[in-house]
Structure 1
Amino acid sequence: MKKTLLLAGAVLALTAGPALAKKQLVIVVKGLDNPFFEAINQGCQKWNKENAASEYECFYTGPASTSDEAGEAQIVQDMLGKADTAAIAISPSNAKLIAQTLKTAKPTVPVMTLDADLAAEDSALRKTYLGTDNYLMGFRIGEYIKKAKPKGGTICLIEGNPGADNILRRAQGTRDALTGQKGLTALKGEGGWTEVAGCPVFTNDDGAKGVQAMTDILAANPKLDAFAIEGGWPLFGAPQPYRDLFKPLASRIASNDFVVSAADTIGDEVAIAREGLVTALVGQRPFEMGYKAPSVMVNLVTGKPVEDPVFTGLDECTKDTVDTCIQK
Structure 2
Amino acid sequence: MTLALSPAARDALEAWLAARRAIDGSAEATITAYRGDVTEFIAFMTEYRGEAQGLAPLSRIDTRDMRAWMARMRGGGVGARSMARKLSAVKGFYGWLAEREGFEPTAVLSARAPRFQKKLPRPMDEGAAREMIGTVEVQASEPWIAARDVAVVTLLYGCGLRTGEALGLTGAALPLGAALRIVGKGGKERLVPVLPAARDAVARYAELCPHDLTAEAPLFRGVRGGALNPRIVRQVTEKARMQLGLPATATPHAFRHSFATHLLASGGDLRAIQELLGHASLSTTQAYTAVDGAHLMRVYAEAHPKAR
TM range (shorter): under 0.3
**TM-score scaled by length of structure 2:** 0.27
Kindly indicate which of the two structures has a greater share of residues assigned to strand.
Answer: 1
Kindly indicate which of the two structures has a greater share of residues assigned to helix.
Answer: 2
**TM-score scaled by length of structure 1:** 0.26
